């Protein structure tokens, strides 16, 4: 196993929590549409982080992390919506998790862009 990577580990652990939430939404609430969206975006964050780890260039790294960030923001939306609609109770921990992931991804992207002004995030 490779050396620890903070954001890879956090997004993997987050994906496991999302899987548990999605299972609970399906079984306890018979909610399928929003839970599927949450599952898709919430597990995609870590998948894209792992792709970024093996990026072919700095620009590719930024691009992959930017996709992760977009997926994280979408996940944050679904968490807020599920919470506000009453499907997801006691959502403070998962809300804090996604906020932290967004902060970390944003910082990594900004730092990486700052170390190479030629690397631009895709539009």
Residue listed under structure tokens 């993997």: 12
Q: Residue 121 domain-assigned?
A: no
Q: Which domain holds residue 51?
A: 6-113
Q: Calculate ∠ Cα 62-67-71, nearest 5°.
A: 145
Q: Residue 18 domain-assigned?
A: yes
pTM: 0.89
Write the CATH number for 91.
1.20.1440.60
Q: What is the pLDDT along the chain (123 residues), one digit of tens a residue?
A: 456 799 999 999 999 999 999 999 999 999 999 999 999 999 999 999 999 999 999 999 999 999 999 999 999 999 999 999 999 988 999 999 999 999 999 999 999 999 755 444 443
Residue listed under structure tokens 């996940």: 75
Q: Residue 1 domain-assigned?
A: no
Q: How many domains does the chain have?
A: 1
């Amino acid at each position: 196993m490779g050396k620890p990577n903070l954001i890879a580990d956090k997004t993997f652990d987050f994906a496991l929590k999302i899987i548990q939430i999605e299972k609970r939404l399906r079984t306890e609430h018979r909610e399928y549409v929003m839970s599927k969206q949450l599952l898709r975006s919430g597990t995609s964050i870590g998948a894209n982080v792992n792709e970024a780890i093996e990026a072919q260039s700095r620009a590719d790294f930024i691009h992959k992390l930017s996709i992760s960030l977009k997926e994280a923001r979408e996940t944050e939306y679904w968490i807020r919506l599920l919470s506000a609609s009453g499907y997801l109770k006691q959502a403070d921990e998962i809300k804090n998790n996604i906020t932290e992931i967004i902060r970390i991804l944003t910082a990594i992207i900004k730092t990486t862009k700052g170390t190479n002004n030629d690397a631009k995030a895709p539009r």
